[in-house]
Amino acid sequence: MVLLLAVLCGLVLGSLAADARASDMPRSAPRGDEVHGDDVRDEFVGSGGLILPGSVDDHTRREVAACGGCQFRVTSPCSSTDLGAPLDDQCSSVVRGCPGGQLRRTWFRPETGSWRDTGLVCTRVGLWTVAQAADEVADRMARGVPPALVGVEPATGVLPHLPTYFATGTDAPSVTLSFTVAGHEVEARAEAAWSWSFGDGGTLETRDPGGRYPAGAVTHAYRVAGRYRVECWTTWRAVFWTEGLGPFPVPEPVRQHAQQDVTVGEGRAVLVPVR
């Protein structure tokens, strides 16, 4: 009776310590961080980090989200601890305690451990896993980071033995993006590293985006005249936060490539009459 009154007041139950009987739980979960439906028991099953709503206690949320090898279930709110048939017809008042959303019971099992009930959650948006969030961040970063390019100064009249300045066109080595996906707030930060090849055997690895004379930190001096192909590879690695959890790494970096031909002329002495 106390449980029903608490839910009817719009409160979400905290973490429950009771373990489900391991013999009645599934022995394996789908590979990866995908979420699958189980129509027989009206539930969702999956593996990997799961992002629970803020109504769950912070310790449980961090534990469930950070466990990449864990399994989870999202079931009927009235499922018994052995995950028997849903009992919604016997507790419709509990289900009504989540207006505008779905009241579900969540289960969590670490890589080495038993299943446990993490309580009731009221969800008004779809299931959200760390892997799904990382995929979305990678896609947004690929479209949101500055385009790759190679800037050269001086643009013409490059001479041997004098420094030539190179730039990537990026003012700073990091980019921050904020966006919403299916009702979930996400903030991501990507940091760049650059790998240069100057066409004459010279290379440079740096986290400085370069710039114009005289402050630019990416320079190279050619020894002989000629035409050289300068190439620059950019690697953006990102971390993100969502629903107050993180930072989580994005496994796949965003990679870019740009190139520019540079013509180095002959340095010649010029006689100037003295008056």
Each residue's pLDDT tens digit, 73-119: 888 777 655 544 444 455 554 555 677 777 888 888 888 888 888 87
Domain of 100, in residue numbers: 2-123
- Whether residues 91 and 142 fall in one domain: no
Q: Count of domains in the chain?
A: 2
What pLDDT, on a 0 to 100 scale, did the predictor assign at position 1? Answer: 36
What pLDDT, on a 0 to 100 scale, did the predictor assign at position 148? Answer: 93
Whether residue 15 is predicted with pLDDT greater than 50 in this model: the reply is: no
Q: What 3-state DSSP class applies to 220?
A: strand
Whichever domain contains 223, its CATH number is: 2.60.40.10
Each residue's pLDDT tens digit, 245-272: 999 999 999 999 999 999 999 866 556 6
- Whether residues 171 and 231 fall in one domain: yes
- Whether residues 135 and 257 fall in one domain: yes
- Whether residues 81 and 197 fall in one domain: no
- Whether residues 151 and 258 fall in one domain: yes
- Whether residues 141 and 255 fall in one domain: yes
Each residue's pLDDT tens digit, 212-231: 999 999 999 999 999 999 99
Q: Is 274 part of a structural domain of the chain?
A: no
Q: Are 145 and 236 in contact (CB under 8 A)?
A: yes
Average pLDDT of every residue of the chain: 78
Percent of the chain with pLDDT over 70: 73
Between 254 and 19, where is the model more confident?
A: 254
- Whether residues 97 and 37 fall in one domain: yes
Confidence of residue 203 (pLDDT cuts 50, 70, 90): very high
Among 82, 99, 123, the domain boundary falls at: 123
Task: Supply the DSSP string of 134-189, one letter for each residue.
Answer: HHHHHHHHHHHSPPP--EEESSS-B-TTSEEEEE-S-SSSEEEEEEEETTEEEEEE
Comparing CA positions, the residue from 111, 150, 134 lying closest to residue 241 is: 134
Average pLDDT on 49-67 reads 87
- Whether residues 117 and 204 fall in one domain: no
CA distance 223 to 199: 12
- Whether residues 176 and 82 fall in one domain: no
- Whether residues 10 and 71 fall in one domain: yes
pTM of the predicted model as reported, rounded to 2 decimal places: 0.72
Each residue's pLDDT tens digit, 131-183: 989 999 999 999 999 999 999 999 999 999 999 999 998 988 999 999 998 78
